[in-house]
């Protein structure tokens, strides 16, 4: 792959998108290397410093460049990817600490650069967390998620955020007047699931097994049911499984106290192999179980990303002579962002099914400690102003 650019990371000779004042040796070095304009306003934002090192600080606002807009964030949501980044201390594609943090947001345009066209102060918007270049081989082949110059945006856990020119042009969308901000903020994760479900080309009447009862797995249940499929869900958490049932899962496999996915599913539905398996756990054992639970000629989507460096053992005879089709969907495209927003605004995906907690920005470090310790909230809305 080519380069991946991230708003929030520093490159030699470039001013960071957000300078983080601190007394740590690293930040003092930045203070020497970069001159921060003194007339900037300030805002509160979450800063990720490394593994399980998260702080909320006052930082300078970034001045707008041509083509950019500033958005006052009205809703930001926690995300399983953010939790993984918090635990690991980095994300090879999306960010490099120290940096602003979070990527699911919606809000109101609060400032427009004079050379930015098509937007006005007061517009209610949702922004995706990336924008493809539109020019590389992958973009021309409608695989924008593999763009060789994919630009990522971070900084949702903040009072405001600057949307870069390319993202303004490709992945900033107006909201209907009645669309709640916390519902619109679901657009980005839902777009990833829409991508994964689209790759599978579900057919009404097919049987679908979803592995994992986190937000992604639950969204997959809702979309598979919407496609007319019969859905089974294997996961943990009484509340999450109950939600999965409300979203359309007719079979529930409770994995509480169990590790063997295949055995648990077989116990619940013996002699059944599914037309489609959507893996949303992100563990090698779940990937391996997926191919053993799908029927001959079936499809598997390894949606859950496993930790870097891990490997899986697949029965090549089973894969080959069962003529299995294996997918590994990643990220989303501008088309999927638009489609996801439509599903939300048409009421097919309801925010109240997924957003089941609320916390102020000042408590974000504590919240992530709780999430890392086993907090079972599906998604938590972060209040950016108290």
pLDDT at residue 13 in the model:
36
pLDDT at residue 22 in the model:
42
CATH of domain 193-327: 3.40.50.720
pLDDT at residue 307 in the model:
85
pLDDT at residue 14 in the model:
39
pLDDT at residue 370 in the model:
94
pLDDT at residue 376 in the model:
80
Per-residue pLDDT tens over the stretch 218-277: 999 999 999 999 999 999 999 999 999 999 999 999 999 999 999 999 999 998 899 999
**Which CATH fold would you assign to the domain 4-186+349-383?**
Quinone Oxidoreductase; Chain A, domain 1 (3.90.180)
pLDDT at residue 40 in the model:
67
d(CA 214, CA 244): 10
Are the C-beta atoms of 43 and 17 separated by less than 8 Å?
no
Could you tell me the residue ranges of all domains in the chain?
Answer: 4-186+349-383, 193-327
pLDDT at residue 377 in the model:
86
d(CA 210, CA 189): 16
pLDDT at residue 160 in the model:
98
Is-same-fold flag (4-186+349-383; 193-327)? no
Q: How many CB atoms lie within 10 A of CB 58?
A: 11
d(CA 131, CA 334): 8
Residue 79 DSSP SS3: coil
pLDDT at residue 91 in the model:
80
For residue 39, the Cα-to-chain-centroid distance in whole angstroms is 34
Low-confidence ranges of the chain (pLDDT < 50): 1-4, 8-36
Helix-, strand-, coil-residue percentages of the chain, each rounded to 5? 30, 30, 40
**Which neighbouring-strand residues pair with 174?**
125
């Amino acid at each position: 792959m080519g380069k991946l650019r991230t708003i929030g990371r520093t490159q030699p000779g470039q001013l960071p998108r957000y300078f983080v004042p601190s007394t740590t040796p690293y930040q003092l070095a930045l203070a020497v290397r970069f001159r921060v304009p003194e007339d900037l306003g300030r805002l509160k934002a979450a800063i990720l410093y490394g593994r399980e090192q998260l702080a909320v600080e006052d930082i300078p606002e970034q001045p707008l460049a041509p083509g950019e807009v500033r958005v006052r964030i009205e809703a930001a949501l926690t995300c399983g990817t953010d939790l993984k980044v918090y635990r690991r201390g980095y994300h090879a594609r999306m960010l490099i600490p120290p940096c602003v943090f979070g990527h699911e947001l919606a809000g109101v345009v609060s400032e427009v650069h004079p050379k930015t066209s098509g937007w006005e102060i007061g517009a209610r918007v949702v922004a995706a967390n990336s924008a493809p270049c539109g020019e590389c081989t992958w973009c021309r082949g409608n695989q924008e998620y593999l763009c060789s110059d994919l630009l990522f945006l971070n900084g949702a856990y903040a009072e405001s955020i600057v949307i870069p020119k390319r993202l303004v042009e490709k992945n900033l969308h107006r909201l209907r007047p009645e669309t709640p901000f916390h519902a619109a903020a679901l657009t980005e994760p839902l777009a990833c699931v829409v991508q994964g479900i689209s790759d599978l080309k579900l057919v009404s009447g097919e049987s679908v097994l979803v592995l994992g009862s986190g937000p992604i797995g639950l969204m997959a249940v809702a979309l598979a049911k919407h496609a007319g499929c019969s859905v089974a869900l294997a996961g943990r958490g009484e509340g999450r499984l109950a939600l999965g049932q409300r979203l359309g899962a007719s079979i529930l496999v409770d994995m509480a106290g169990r590790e063997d996915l295949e055995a648990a599913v077989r116990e619940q539905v013996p002699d059944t192999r599914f037309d489609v398996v959507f893996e949303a756990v992100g563990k090698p054992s779940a990937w391996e179980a997926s191919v053993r639970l799908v029927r001959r000629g079936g499809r598997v989507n390894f949606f859950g990303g496993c930790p870097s460096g891990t490997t899986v053992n697949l029965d090549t005879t089973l894969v080959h002579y069962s003529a299995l089709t294996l997918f590994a969907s990643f990220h989303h495209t501008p088309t999927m962002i638009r489609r996801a927003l439509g599903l939300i605004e048409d009421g097919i995906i309801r925010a109240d099914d997924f957003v089941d907690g609320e916390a102020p920005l000042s408590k974000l470090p504590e919240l992530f400690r709780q999430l890392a310790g086993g907090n079972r909230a599906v998604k938590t809305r972060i209040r950016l102003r108290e």
